[in-house]
Amino acid sequence: MQQNQQTILITGAAGFIGGHLAHVLAGRTEIRLILSDDFDRADKTENWSDLEGVTRIPRTELIERLNAQEVCPHWVIHLGARTDTTEFDYSIHEALNLNFSKQIWTYCANRQIPLIYASSAATYGNGEHGYADDVSLLPNLKPLNPYGLSKHQFDCWAMEQSNFQPPHWYGLKFFNVYGFRESHKGRMASMVYHGFQQIRARGVVRLFKSHRAGIADGEQRRDFIYVKDVVRVIDWLMGCSAPSGIYNLGTGQARSFNDLIRAVFRALELPPRIEYFDMPADLRDTYQYFTEAPMEKLRAAGYPYECYSLEEGVGDYVRHHLLPAADRG
């Protein structure tokens, strides 16, 4: 190892955000990477296979090898999770999102290793208590699905560990992240990805109808954030002295799904064509019609960068990543 080289462990490193972060950090000579995930999934191979000089550890072996001190990271970036919001078997989320995260936290607290972990805007549920990342509001939050519940329960558990913490730690409540390296997510990939595929196949995009009075079809609004901004925040946190705690990670501006799809058509230089269909009945009670991330807390901690606008982020994703990949394939 080079003198003064930092070792960084990324869990979920074969996934969407983890794969991005790994590629950003891999080019830096002062960093050595340890990647952990399920590397047997063929649909994730392109997210990590071109990275050289990294150590890969299967997720099922990670805790044992950390405790045996086979690897000794200076930072842990814990992005690994079961992210399927339509998976209603809570035991799956409990094992991967709650209990495994507790093991990661315990390791970092015992070894005094800084930790960044992925939380989620799904913890806010219907947003009846707003979306402020004020930890005093945590007891009031009511997630709508087992995924959001597992993330919320870990946030609550982390806040209870006032006498047993990593030296610096940050829980990031990701809002709707989109960008390249997400194709393996299937139906959980962003509507930018699915919209692009539908336009290429049929020239039209299908969106859920609204089943809520006062909200027009396609006017369900989310805080969509480009994956490049998410990775930039993580990178910044590793080099700053922001107060430990839970932070929102979005753009601070909710936009409609209609806006999102119009941006895809615009990037393709095509007129928008959108159709609406009934939302599946089993999703209607667990669907978030609005999310928006107040970002004052991260700004107050010193974060200096502006996010991509929806049009900028979608345009970059479509023109520089989705189109070239489609033309190759």
Residue 135 and residue 20: Cα distance in Å, rounded? 29
List all residues 6 or more positions away from 293 whose beta carbon is below 8 Å from its beta carbon: 121, 131, 133, 173, 175, 223, 225, 248, 249, 250, 251, 252
Residue 317 falls in the annotated catalytic set? no
**Contact call for residues 128 and 290 (beta carbons, < 8 A):** no
Q: Buried (b) or exposed (e) across 93-102, using 16+ Cβ within 10 A?
A: bbebbbebbe
Q: Select from 69, 98, 82 the least CA-distant residue to 15.
A: 82
| Pairwise CA distance, residues 230 & 256, whole Å | 20
Distances (CA, A) of 183 to 45, 192, 228, 296, 297: 11, 11, 16, 32, 32
| Residues 142/144/148/149 CA torsion (nearest 10 deg) | 60
Contact 18, 76 (CB under 8 A): no
Is residue 10 within a helix (H) or strand (E), and if so which, with residue range? Answer: strand 6-11
* CA distance linking residue 288 with residue 291, whole number of Å: 7
Residue 120 DSSP SS3: strand
Catalytic residue from among 147, 170, 226, 303? 147
Query: Looking at 185, 228, 276, 289, which residue is catalytic?
Result: 185
Question: How many angstroms separate the CA atoms of 289 and 128, rounded?
Answer: 11
| 3-state percent helix, strand, coil for the chain, nearest multiple of 5 | 45, 15, 40
Q: Which residues are catalytic?
A: 147, 185
